[in-house]
Structure 1
């Protein structure tokens, strides 16, 4: 048990701050649509009828600076469309097409750099991998913490905050609040880790298959498209997509980023948990002819289970109660991580002074 305690304390003291910051940023991002509600049009009701979608995409195509790379349509809880303009630039537009906010890079919008830190630690793909490894270590914290708590379970007391800021009080609080939130912490870190560390994800969701088994069903068809036409019949394209998938919500339209690419439309069918869905439809950019589709609901159970990771991790399913639960786990993780670092590096117990042995006097005979 001693080595478990040493492992838990030392690793917590080293990476606890990173885990804490990931938890804090995750809790803030869970309510992103709430604190963006001040933007004009953010509270507007979502319109998914064909004329409204056509009006939005036509306005986006005619926006200053040329057509966007993609347009993400409003949701039921956020009434603005998001335009991606390339090189980190973008804009929010209301459903009439009016631009209400613009940015030239991620540092211009707090929600963008918070997202980048939470997912990539500001270091791109390498940072994403590091974050996944940190989440994996966080899972070990939950397991070893529960083992260490079991020995002292009779002393359990539930407190949201330490009784005092002394090391013994913080350690006791850390142990007790950690075991209360252990299931939520385990779930949030497991889902975060599985979204990033693909070898583990593949072994769990598509065992025995190739490394690209999760992404292969979503690869675009091998069809070369022509030049993007400025006179596409978007109404016919949306109607064709809806005819293939009745009742689906049209979430995203991506334009070709290189010559020969296709227009991709992303839909969310009613059973899908992903906010933007993974049902895909491709069209030719020169005339809007439908090329191919991918029905995520017809894919293997492992792929559909993998698609549930992000909604669970980000509180995008389950309503306000699950959102509050995910945010609470993030705040608790922030508290546990920061207190762990503080007590390890600044509140460590002082070593007891060693007593010198008194010389033994031997009486002469």
Structure 2
């Protein structure tokens, strides 16, 4: 067991701070919709296609450089307008701007999200987080094995009895085993979203990686150039007729010539908060080029689409959000105290006695 203990301690000492950041920011983001204190943030979602179309037309006409809109949901009553270079705005569901920002640093929910998902480092940070997720899975497995030897001394301790290394180690061991199922769920679902090969491995019981890749791949469509006056009302009306039980979630404009206008919708049977039912419209005249029904995807894709809602507590209501909050705070404590004890409270080696030195010589 000594080698297992060494792996557990050294990996925790190196990667523990990243996991602490993930836990704390995750616990904050779970309740994001509740603490964004802006006018109309608590408004009920308006689902009428005509009203959504009118607000979209108003926002896009007044902001010609916009890249898209994330629409109000059931827990957050504002539309988010996406603008270039990290700028954006929140608007009420009638299309009236409530607040603007020129960079993500002006909105805490945006930079906390970036920290949680990318460590402020883009793709490199996302890879580091994926590695940390794999390490977290290793911690849960090895920690459970190591705990089994001392299971008779188990005592639930939300906080160490004192800030000595032995007390922290005991609390770490026993709190870790209590939180192990939630920690494992959070680590597995988070890592699935970063590393597709890992997701393919987890999803083997539900289908092949090839089937997942095929289901998630966008269709090959060719669009005309973006019209100066797109028919936003018409496209939104068509989208709602195609999926009458769905709510519109995201509108994305073409990023380069030949790309289509994209509308993502969430059907009533989907867990994913922004849905995966998607329509692609010709940017020149607004006719439908392709459509994907998330509920018609193969089982492996539907299970994969459930990873994010489970990871971010977008299902299960307040009770599940509170559970993941506790999980995130526990991870923050476990990670930070692990780093502290490993680097600053390591046991001192006892000086060798005269007889021990003689024997070693």
Which one of the candidate residues 132, 136, 139 is aligned to 2:137? 139
Q: Which residue of the other structure, out of 292, 298, 301, is the alignment partner of 2:299?
A: 301
Change beyond 3 A, Cα 1:217–1:160:
closer
The residue correspondences of 1:68-79 to structure 2 (distance < 5 A) are 68-79=66-77
Structure 1 residues 59 and 151, CA gap change in structure 2 (3 angstroms): same
Shift of 1:112: 1.2
Say which of 351, 355, 358 aligns to 1:357.
355
Identify the match of residue 178 of structure 2 among 169, 180, 196: 180
Q: Deviations over 1:256-275 (max 9, x none)?
A: 22222211111101110000
| CA contact 2:221–2:289 (8 Å) conserved in 1 | no
Structure 2 match to 1:167:
165
Q: 1:157 aligns with which of 139, 151, 155?
A: 155
Q: Deviations over 1:118-143 (max 9, x none)?
A: 11111111211111011101111011
Deviation at 1:358, TM superposition (A): 9.7
Distance (Å, rounded) in 2 between the aligned partners of 1:115 and 1:54: 29
Q: CA deviation at 1:204?
A: 3.5
Is 1:225 paired with 2:224? yes
1:348 aligns with: 346
When residues 268 and 16 of structure 1 are mapped into structure 2, their CA distance, relative to the original with a 3 A threshold, is: same
1:93 is matched with 91
Match in the other structure for 1:47: 46
SS class of match (2:100): strand
Q: In the TM superposition, what are the counterparts of 1:249-268 in structure 2 within 5 Å?
A: 249-268=247-266
Q: Which residue of the partner structure matches residue 2 of structure 2?
A: 2
Asked whether the 8 Å contact 2:215–2:301 carries over to 1, the reply is no
**TM alignment of 1:27-66, pairs within 5 A:** 27-36=27-36, 38-64=37-63, 66=64
Cα shift at 1:237:
2.3
Q: Distance in 2 between matches of 1:24 and 1:128?
A: 17
Structure 1's 300 and 358: CA in aligned 2 closer, same or farther, altered over 3 A?
closer
> 2:213 is paired with a residue of what secondary structure?
coil
Alignment deviations for residues 155-174 of structure 1 (CA, whole Å, 9 cap, x no partner): 11112111111111111110
More divergent stretch after superposition (81-90 vs 99-108):
99-108
* 183 and 358 in structure 1: CA distance in 2 versus 1, 3 angstrom threshold: closer
Q: Indicate how the Cα distance of structure 1 residues 13 and 25 shifts in structure 2: closer, same or farther if over 3 A, else same.
A: same
Give the TM-score normalised by the residue count of structure 1: 0.93
Where does residue 19 of structure 1 map in the other structure?
Answer: 19
**CA shift digits 1:31-90 (9 cap, x unpaired):** 111110x111101111010121012101211224x2411111100110000011122111
The Cα shift of 1:215 comes to: 6.0
Secondary structure of 1:267's match?
strand
Q: 1:138 to 1:217 in 2, by over 3 A?
A: closer
How far did residue 235 of structure 1 move?
A: 3.3
Shift of 1:9: 1.0
1:239 CA displacement: 2.5
Partner of 1:363: none
TM-score of the aligned structures, taking structure 2 as reference length: 0.94
| Number of aligned residue pairs | 356
Residue of structure 2 in register with 1:189 after alignment: 187
Deviations 1:92-111 (A, max 9, x none): 11112121121222222211
- Whole-angstrom CA distance in 2 between matches of 1:209 and 1:303: 9
The 1:359–1:188 alpha-carbon spacing in structure 2 relative to 1, beyond 3 Å, is closer
Distance 1:185 1:123 in 2: 24
8 Å contact 1:202–1:214 — kept in the other structure? no
Stretches of structure 2 lacking an aligned partner (at least 5 in a row): none
